[in-house]
Chains A and B, each alone.
Chain A
Amino acid sequence: DVKVTQSSRYLVKRTGEKVFLECVQDMDHENMFWYRQDPGLGLRLIYFSYDVKMKEKGDIPEGYSVSREKKERFSLILESASTNQTSMYLCASSWGFGTGRYNEQFFGPGTRLTVL
């Protein structure tokens, strides 16, 4: 079974702090994703990566950056946390591009981040 893990289930940080959210997948997937989920807004894509050191902006990249130094690990970085970044953050991975099952996405358990 595909396993996607996230470093923390719950996290509380102060405004202005630098925050790192880590995601690890164990299936040698090419693609990894970071989403945030907010009530009434659904899931929104922040960034995705299709290879080591490669990244693409999603719909809401402002205030975030990412790092992918190894294939299995994808980090989301909040350079200076703000209260409007309080949210549920979800990481996902998939094998690669293409039709069929290649782009089936598998999600981690989520990190509930609160910024005070």
Chain B
Amino acid sequence: KQEVTQIPAALSVPEGENLVLNCSFTDSAIYNLQWFRQDPGKGLTSLLLIQSSQREQTSGRLNASLDKSSGRSTLYIAASQPGDSATYLCAVPNYGGATNKLIFGTGTLLAVQP
């Protein structure tokens, strides 16, 4: 059974710092991995989807990497800003079962201090 975990659960950094969020999954047979952002009381915003054949995906100040063999993905945020403060979630589709069902990580609550 696929399990997804994220460490750390919470992170506080000063503005301008580069940071890395981690996502681990137990079953390396994944189609892709999706990173989301969630602001308090709001829905999820898709940030990046990295396919199983890719090692990296970039969007602006965000860079996601994927290492299937080790069951890990990282989300790198460059030059962090207070507006980046949110909860970040990673998710993988359920492989071999009900396709498209996403299995979510536990989330990392990020606070960027001005």
Interface of A with B (CB < 8 Å)?
Answer: 4, 6, 31, 33, 42-43, 45, 48, 50, 56, 58, 88, 90, 92, 94, 97-101, 103-110, 112
Q: Which residues of A contact B61 (CB under 8 A)?
A: none
Residue of B nearest to A58 (CB): B101
The prevalent SS among residues of B at the interface is: strand
Closest to B89 in A: A43
Interface flag for B104 (CB, 8 Å)? yes
Give which listed residue, A56, A92, A98, A112, contacts B41 with CB less than 8 A.
A112
Residues in B with CB closer than 8 Å to A94 are: 100
Q: With a CB–CB cut-off of 8 A, which chain A residues contact B44? A: 90, 92, 107
Q: Is the CB of B100 within 8 A of A97?
A: yes
* List of 8 A-B pairs having minimum Cβ-Cβ separation, nearest first: A107-B44, A107-B43, A110-B43, A109-B43, A103-B100, A97-B99, A104-B49, A99-B31
Complex contact A110–B42 (CB within 8 A)? yes
Measured between beta carbons, the chain A residues less than 8 angstroms from B51 are: 99-101
User: With the chains together, A31 CA to B46 CA distance in Å?
Assistant: 16
Is B104 touching A42 in the complex (CB atoms < 8 A)?
yes
Which of B45, B89, B98 has the most CB atoms of chain A within a 10 A radius of its CB? B98
Complex Cα gap A50–B98 (Å): 10
